[in-house]
Amino acid sequence: MELYRGRRLWVEKRLFQLPHGKEKEMVVVHPGDAVVILPREGDNFLLIRQWRAPINQYIFEAPAGTMEEGEDPLYTARRELIEETGMDAKTLIPRGFIYTTPGFADEKLWLFEAIDLTPSGEFSPDDDEVIEPVRFSASKIGEMILNGEIIDAKTICIFFRCLGEKFA
């Protein structure tokens, strides 16, 4: 049963058959899939400082955005990178995907590392976004994650997915 449908997401309540045979009614949120991009310029990375209304504060995060219906993740990644940073990437390296909150949502985030950056104005930022691009070294981002200055889960995930071999 559909509980809510908006422009960006919909919510349903339905009966699930659990692996051990029991049934359980659950609420599932369907926000749609999205992309996250970690733009790299040599030893530095381009994050954004963005205002997030639900938490009423600015946070540092990797550029990201929702995929339009039928849109390819690679196309979305390029579009969102340009919209949020003003930079295009000659190379987008797929880094897999993550589920954000599989306990109640089916949102999948496709992860990309962007290299060979060049300025671009092909796409404009959304009018409801308050964004400032900021460059950091990998060591500074790692420090910001550890000290709690970067609190955005998708940013922590993409950073580890792109640079995790240094920590393994």
Give me the helix-helix angle, 153-163 and 138-146, nearest 10°: 140
By DSSP bridging, strand 34-41 and strand 44-52 are antiparallel
Rounded CA-CA distance 25/40 in Å is 44
For domain 31-166, the CATH architecture is Alpha-Beta Complex (3.90)
What pLDDT, in 10s, does the model give residues 77-134?
999 999 999 999 999 999 999 999 999 999 999 999 999 999 998 877 777 778 999 9
Q: For the segment 25-43, what is each residue's pLDDT rounded down to a tens digit? A: 999 999 999 999 999 998 8
Query: How many Cβ atoms from other residues are within 10 Å of residue 20's Cβ?
Result: 5
Per-residue pLDDT band at 167 (split at 50, 70, 90): low
Residue with the two structure tokens 């340009």: 82
Q: Domain boundaries in the chain?
A: 31-166
| φ and ψ at residue 93, rounded to 5 degrees | -100, 115
Q: What is the mean pLDDT of residues 156-160?
A: 96
Does pLDDT of 58 surpass 60?
Answer: yes
